[in-house]
Amino acid sequence: MTGGLWQDRQRVDCLVIGGGPAGLTAALYLARFRLSVQVIDRGAGRAASIPLTRNYPGFPDGISGRELVQRIGEQAVRYGARITTAEVATVERSGDIFQCRTSSGLIEASTVILATGIRDVRPPLDDELHAAALAAGLIRYCPICDGFEVSGRRVAVIGRGAHGAREAAFIRSYTDDVTLLAWDGTTNLDVTQRAGLAGAGIAVVDGAVASARMQHDKLILATDCGELAFDAVYPALGAQVASRIAQELGAQVNEDGYLHVDEHQRTGVPGLYAIGDVVAGLNQISRATAQAATAATALRNDLLLSPPP
Ligand SMILES: Cc1cc2nc3c(=O)[nH]c(=O)nc-3n(C[C@H](O)[C@H](O)[C@H](O)COP(=O)(O)OP(=O)(O)OC[C@H]3O[C@@H](n4cnc5c(N)ncnc54)[C@H](O)[C@@H]3O)c2cc1C
């Protein structure tokens, strides 16, 4: 990736905002369609935080998210895509052109692909402990991705209400030792949810968590009900969806902020496409890369039918 300031404004066929698996795969396709493409990525996306993904096809021994992203980026650059470490602040539409203000300067683009992802809401752990626990697989965010790895282990879900109960029930299909708790002690479970959890053999702890620490290969949570040691803890606290730029352009989102798109990844704003976790649906790398291929191909065809001025 390159850094640095642009002295002059650039004009590209497509600006891709976000350099995770979605954005970089789109850039690869667009470059191979012989379009000029600029990726702007501020780093620290979800993919980059994956210690080892074992459910992405083609890597039977798994691959770290960071390495996967680097490889897709190298592949895209090989065909002419530019990738720059910077942040896109705003995008405005001026006639048929998108004016994109970034921390590295102004870019004019005929089309924009938004691949900005989401940010998981984290439990209140200090950054160092969170990073170490994530790297060690003691904190996990995606049971669809890595529930298999906690088979038969002692697992906690941090969450509340229907969302927390659903996640605990999902993980129960891997292990019979699942505990649901909320950091502040308010699990907000109604009688039916409690009965459902009890019937599934899922423990509920109604005590607040005062502190957490790593000890050997466990995450220890000190709660009002005593110290509890877990092999893995899944926060189920929701996410902040990075759809602001699209919303400011007039794109539609659902009640959680996820973008609505058509079957070709077009938002309702002409020339603006969205892919990956920022789009409502399953948050997985496979879906992100598939959507990238779909969006890039639609964009190529849309430009053929209405070329930029
Ligand atoms: C711990 C963990 C483990 C996971 N394990 C798996 C797994 O094993 N298998 C699997 O399929 N999925 C897994 N996932 C989910 C997977 O990471 C996501 O589905 C995938 O990364 C989505 O790709 P993306 O490109 O949409 O988003 P991201 O990978 O999050 O990339 C988005 C990028 O956009 C950038 N960005 C956002 N806003 C701006 C802006 N304004 N300007 C510039 N850049 C911006 C971000 O900084 C980020 O780099 C896991 C997620 C987590 C958190």
What tokens were used for 189?
């479970």
pLDDT at 1 over 80: no
* d(C-alpha 297, C-alpha 278), whole Å: 19
Q: Are residues 192 and 290 in the same domain?
A: no
Confidence tier at 2 by pLDDT (50, 70, 90): very low
Q: Decide: 259 in ligand 1 pocket, CB within 6 A.
A: no
Q: Decide: 235 in ligand 1 pocket, CB within 6 A.
A: no
pLDDT at 308 over 80: no
Q: How many domains does the chain have?
A: 2
How high is the pLDDT of residue 9? Answer: 59
| d(CA 222, ligand 1 centre) in Å | 31
Q: Are residues 245 and 227 in the same domain?
A: no
Q: Are residues 291 and 260 in the same domain?
A: yes
Helix (H, G, I), strand (E, B) or coil at 281: coil
The residue type of 214 is M
Ligand 1 atom having least distance to the Cα of 49: 1
DSSP summary character for residue 258: P
| d(CA 201, ligand 1 centre) in Å | 33
**CATH code, domain carrying 148:** 3.50.50.60
Q: Decide: 55 in ligand 1 pocket, CB within 6 A.
A: yes
Pocket test for ligand 1, best of 28, 52, 116 (most atoms within 8 A of CB): 116
Q: Are residues 127 and 227 in the same domain?
A: yes
Q: Are residues 255 and 115 in the same domain?
A: yes
Q: Are residues 61 and 98 in the same domain?
A: yes
The H or E element spanning position 230 is: strand 226-230
For 78-107, the pLDDT digits (tens) are 999 999 999 999 999 999 899 999 999 999
Domain residues for 140? 122-235
CB neighbours of residue 153 within 10 Å: 15
Handedness of CA 142, 148, 150, 156 (dihedral sign): positive
Confidence tier at 309 by pLDDT (50, 70, 90): low
| d(CA 145, ligand 1 centre) in Å | 13
Q: Of 235, 253, 274, which residue sits at a domain end?
A: 235
User: Is residue 42 within 8 Å of 3, Cβ to Cβ?
Assistant: no
The H or E element spanning position 17 is: strand 10-17
* d(C-alpha 20, C-alpha 25), whole Å: 8
* d(C-alpha 81, C-alpha 27), whole Å: 6
Q: Are residues 219 and 242 in the same domain?
A: no
Q: Decide: 91 in ligand 1 pocket, CB within 6 A.
A: no
Residue 2 lies in a domain: no
User: Is residue 22 within 8 Å of 117, Cβ to Cβ?
Assistant: yes
Give me the percent of the chain exceeding a pLDDT of 90: 91
| d(CA 42, ligand 1 centre) in Å | 12
pLDDT at 6 over 70: no
Residue 295 lies in a domain: yes
Longest dimension (CA), the chain: 67
User: Is residue 149 within 8 Å of 137, Cβ to Cβ?
Assistant: yes
User: Is residue 82 within 8 Å of 38, Cβ to Cβ?
Assistant: yes
What tokens were used for 180?
């649901």
Pocket test for ligand 1, best of 142, 146, 148 (most atoms within 8 A of CB): 142
* d(C-alpha 155, C-alpha 97), whole Å: 50
* d(C-alpha 78, C-alpha 105), whole Å: 24
* d(C-alpha 296, C-alpha 29), whole Å: 6
Q: Decide: 290 in ligand 1 pocket, CB within 6 A.
A: no
Start-to-end C-alpha separation, the chain: 30
Pocket test for ligand 1, best of 40, 46, 68, 167 (most atoms within 8 A of CB): 46
For 157-173, the pLDDT digits (tens) are 999 999 999 999 999 99
User: Is residue 274 within 8 Å of 284, Cβ to Cβ?
Assistant: no
Helix (H, G, I), strand (E, B) or coil at 229: strand
Nearest CA-CA partner of 259 in 17, 12, 13: 17
Pocket test for ligand 1, best of 50, 66, 275 (most atoms within 8 A of CB): 50
Q: Are residues 40 and 88 in the same domain?
A: yes
Average pLDDT value over all residues in the chain: 94
